[in-house]
Each structure stands twice: as C-alpha cells, then as structure tokens.
Chain A
Amino acid sequence: MLGGGLMAAVVQVPARGAQASSGGRTHLYGYVVDTHKCIGCGKCVEACRHENHVPENYYRTWIERYTIYADGNVAVDSTHGGEKGADALEKKGQIDRSFFVPKLCNHCKEPNCVQVCPVGATYVSRQGVVLVDEKHCVGCGYCIQACPYGARFINPETHVADKCTWCYHRVLKGLKPACVTVCPVGARQFGKVDDPNDPVGKLIKEARLQVLKPEMGNQPMVFYNGLDKEVR
C-alpha cells in the first residue's frame, strides 16, 4: 500500500514540483469534509452567505443529500442548497443508506478554471487558494463551464465569476473559513497541509481520504472522508 503510494509520488512529484516552482506558489491549505459527521443543518451555507454576501439562489457552498434505495435507485436533493436544512425525506421504498455531502470549490492544484480564463482574472494565490480578480474578470463564464464541480457562478450583482475563497480574508488573519467555524459537528475542517501538528494536515497524511472526480486530473485540495461511490 505504502509502496504503491510511493510509486505514485515518484511518478507525479517532478511534474508538480516543476509547476510549483514556475508558478511560485505552494498549496498551503487543505480542507477536509467528514460525510459521516454532517447532519445537513445548513448553518455552513447560511454563514457563507452572510460572510461573503452571496446573492440569493447562488451558492459558494451547498449540501447535497443522497438517499440510496434497496432497489439501486439513487435520489439526490439540495433544496435551497441545503441552507434551510433538508426537507422531510419522501420515502420511495426500502432505504439502504442516506447521508449528507457538503460541497464547495475544491481549490484544485491543477485548476481547469484558471487554465481557461482568457484574461488571467482567475488565479491561484501564493497560498494555493483559487481566487477571482473581480476588477479584471470580463464575465465570459468560460471558467464556470470548465469547473467539473459546479462551484462557480456569475454573480448577478457584480456580473463577474464568483466562487468560494475559503474565506481568504479570514484565513489571512489566521481565522478559519466561516463554514468551518459554524459547523456544530466538526464535519468541515480547514488547516495547513504540511503541518504535522495541524489536525487537518495529520488527517490528509494519515486518513484514507478521497477527492471528487479524481479522473479530471485537477487534484482537488478538498478531501472527503466516507465518500460514497454514488457521489459525483
């Protein structure tokens, strides 16, 4: 197992290293979502909206509820992005399992959105946070089409691309993102990837975490514990 990991690292490190040195950026932070803990209360979505003035009906983060029935059917819902908590579940048969999955921008190491921005308005900060320069963005929406996670939208007030910044303004002050701070069950965690004393760094290093759509090759920096095969 470890050998396999090392092999992968040996193959991938040179490419990543070259990228990091040419871009002069490091991916300092990571985000861990524990789907076993999330209760779908929606406090994180609400906090994000207030903290970042996210317009109604648009989401920098949202919660999906998955219900997997015994006959194999999968039902997914996210009414109001889960902001007001989940609706009462309409049972359509014997349920095998049901759980919540919080979603947000994955702040990928190799972000599609940054690659495709024609004017360089979306970029990776020195700390590895994917940001949008709203004074430079032309609002073409190419980044929105390129994001495999549906994490971006055109802000109807600013008319430029908008997305989760991991509350960059808070992180720069040493605070955690709003969603992490308000989560009552610790389902969302944020910290320094390479710091062995940071619980998030330790988790990313030691726990068997997964990322969304790894086949896209974007190398997300949001990691999931207990990610079901039905989650995309």
Chain B
Amino acid sequence: MLHEVLTQGFVFPNEIEVLWSLMIVLYPYITGLVAGAFIVSSLYHVFGKDELKPVAKFSLVAAFSFLLFACTPLLFHLGHPERAFNIMFTPHFTSAMSGFGYIYSFYLLVVLLEIWFVFRPDIMARAKSSTGPMKALYWVLALGSMDDSEEALHIDHKITSVLAAIGIPSACTLHGYVGFLFGSLKSNPWWSTPLMPVIFLMSAIVSGIAILIVSYYIVMIVKKQPVDNPCLQSMYKFLWGFFIIDLTLEFLNELSGAYAQSQSWPVISWLIEENLHFSYTILQMGICSIIPLVVLGFVALKPMSDMLRNRLGLICSALILVQVLAMRWNVVVGGQLFSKSMRGLTSYMPTFLGREGILVAVILFSMPFVVMYVFNLILPLFENKGEEAQG
C-alpha cells in the first residue's frame, strides 16, 4: 500500500501515508452545515427575520439532523472507536480536542430542547387529532404536557428565543472550535494561523445557508409546491454577505502567507501549485468562488424574474457547497500532503470502498437527510402551502 503512494522530494518516512482521510474532511463539513443551518433558524427566532419563517423549522431540524451525524465520520476514522468516550471520561484539558465532547453534547441538548418547544404546538395538535399507536407516539413526544393555552404558548416562545440565543454562540463556538483544532497546531504551517477558526466559522455559515437553499428548492419541487420567493431572496442576500466575508478571509490568509515568505512558504507554494492545483486554485479560489461572488451579487441586488433569480441562486448555492467541501479537503488533506521536512510532497486518493472510503462518506452524508425525511413524517417541517407559501 505504502509503496504505491507517489511522493516528490523528501518526505519523512512516517508521513508518506496521509493519516486524516476523507472522514476527517467530512467531519468539519457536516459540523459546518449544522452551524449555518442553526444561524438561519436563529435569524427568524431571535432576530425577527420573518421572511425566513418558511424555512425556520426546517433549518432547525436540519441543524439537528446534521448534528446527529457530525461525529460519525470520526468513529469511522478512530483506531479504537470503542474508546471514543475516553474523550469525555478521561479528558486531557491541555488538548484542544478534549473539549469537543462537552461542547457537542451541550449544543445537541440546546438544539433538541429548542426543537421540542418549537414543535410543541404541532405535537399537541397531532396528539389530539390522531388515533391508535400514532396518538401514543405524540403523547410520548409531548412528554405529557398538553397545555396549549395562550399563556403556555407565550412561555414556549420566550424559552425558544432564549434557547436560540444560547444556541448562536454555541454554534459559533462549535465550529470556530473545529477550526481551532487545526489552527492551534504550530507544527503545521498550512494550518497554524489565527484566521483558521474564523475562516471555518464563516465557511460553516455559508455552507449551511447554501444547503438549506438547495434542500428547500428540491423539497418544494418534490412536493410540487411553489417556493417562497421573499424567503429565498433573503437567504440569497445573507449567503452573499457571509460569502464575501468568508472569501476575503480565505484570500487574506493566503496573501499573508505569500507576502511573509516565511521558511515554510516554498513548500506551501509548491503544494498549492502541484497537489492542490485543481482543488484549491481552480475549485476553491477559482470557479466556485468567483462565479457565486459575482452572480449572487446580481441575484441579491438586481431586479429580475423570480424564476431566473431562483435558478441562478440555486446554481450559486450548489457551487458554494462545492467550494466549502473543497476548502475542507484542502485544509485537512492539503495540510498532510507536504512533509514536515519541508522538502517534499506526498499524495492521497480516497478509495471507493473501505472503512474510510467514498461510499461510506456518501452514506454518512445522506443519513441526515433520511432523519429529516422521517422527522417530516412525524412532524411537519414546512407550513401548509395555503398559510405560508406566497410564490
């Protein structure tokens, strides 16, 4: 296996094989989607962006579904997944990684509670209207609380706002923290930059909004319902705004490296020109950045037909999803493609099958959508067409 790896220059013998694989690319990608989806949900619940109401519940459940699977790639990667809980039972607090279990658990609890309060009216309504086993299910989901008085619902709303407000810094912490895992490693000049947590956070928000746009669009097509144009238009604007910040930070990160010309820059520039030419230069900083940056500007600012706006918005969102995936790949894999000898490059190509292969990655990435589908069978992710959809 090792002999098949292509290397150039001198690579330390233990660094020929790339250790953090496709699974570790997927982990920050899914975690990022959580943060972004939650931010959209909070824009409605905390910041009163009423135009986002059509996706408010969906975004919250999307955040929850991605969160459920955020750690699964790690389990497929760990040498001893059965010892995974050591990170919570015997945490070593000098490690940036040791806090992950706690931050993750806290955030999962906040999101779960918020979902319960947001969906409580739906749960109670369905508990009353359904029969048989389904009625029992809704009674269990209601946790025995069937008070749907105006006063109770008002308290629910207040609690939801508080939870959402707690959730925003939690979401930012969760993903900024994932960036910190990389940014804090001084041994790796491609990772070790104070900008890394902020870049991760911004790209997380961007990818979360983008996946909501794409998913919402597809769901509406499948449901044969018209999309809510003001809602989409609002999301395009937020997407564009956050994307500008994200790209600026990514560009500044590279610029400062190139300008400083530190000892590691020759190998970093070699890496960018050689092994990351397609995924970084062409995808991340090229096609998937420039097109959405320009086109979303038009979509957000220029008057045009709803159909054209939505088509362009959809294409840009899809490109941004690829951009962020490429960014995760370039950070995680790219950071291991050059040796700490600073004199050589190695290579990595994920296998299709196998524990850390492409097939497992696709299955893991599909699972949150399965959760959303099942959730929607039990509780409505979208309001009824007649009430909310305006397009």
Chain A residues within 8 Å of B, Cβ to Cβ: 57-59, 62, 64, 74-78, 81, 103, 112, 114-121, 136-142, 144-154, 158-160, 216-217, 232
- From 339 to 356 in chain B, residues with beta carbon under 8 angstroms from any chain A beta carbon are 339-344
- Which of B9, B19, B342 has the largest number of chain A CB atoms within 10 A? B19
With a cutoff of 8 Å between Cβ atoms, the chain A residues found around residue B9 in the complex are 76
Are A150 and B95 neighbours in the complex by a CB distance under 8 Å?
no
Nearest 10 A/B pairs, CB to CB: A139-B79, A150-B12, A159-B79, A120-B92, A76-B10, A118-B97, A148-B187, A119-B86, A153-B14, A118-B98
Main SS of chain A's interface residues? loop
How many residue pairs link A and B with beta carbons under 8 A? The number is 127
Give A117 to B87 CA distance when docked, in angstroms: 9
- From 60 to 101 in chain B, residues with beta carbon under 8 angstroms from any chain A beta carbon are 74, 77-81, 83-84, 86-87, 90-92, 94-98, 100
Are B13 and A117 neighbours in the complex by a CB distance under 8 Å?
no
With a cutoff of 8 Å between Cβ atoms, the chain B residues found around residue A136 in the complex are 83, 86, 90
- Which of A74, A153, A216 has the largest number of chain B CB atoms within 10 A? A153
Q: Does B242 contact A (CB under 8 A)?
A: no
Are B95 and A117 neighbours in the complex by a CB distance under 8 Å?
yes
- From 9 to 53 in chain B, residues with beta carbon under 8 angstroms from any chain A beta carbon are 9-10, 12-16, 19-20
Are B90 and A119 neighbours in the complex by a CB distance under 8 Å?
yes
Nearest neighbor of B98 in chain A, beta-carbon distance: A118
How far in angstroms is the closest Cβ of chain B from A166? 17
Q: Please list 11 pairs of residues, one from A and one from B, whose beta carbons are closer than 8 Å in the complex, sorted by A's number.
A: A59-B13, A76-B9, A118-B87, A138-B87, A141-B19, A141-B79, A145-B187, A149-B340, A150-B13, A150-B340, A232-B340
Are B13 and A138 neighbours in the complex by a CB distance under 8 Å?
no
- Which of B20, B83, B84, B95 has the largest number of chain A CB atoms within 10 A? B95
Nearest neighbor of A231 in chain B, beta-carbon distance: B341
Contact with A along B85-126 (1 / 0, CB 8 A): 011001110111110100000000000000000000000000
| With contact pairs A119-B87, A138-B80, A138-B87 given, residues A146 and B13 touching in the complex (Cβ less than 8 Å) | no
Contact of A119 among B15, B92, B96, B339 (CB under 8 A): B92
With a cutoff of 8 Å between Cβ atoms, the chain B residues found around residue A114 in the complex are 94
Are B340 and A78 neighbours in the complex by a CB distance under 8 Å?
no
Nearest neighbor of B92 in chain A, beta-carbon distance: A120
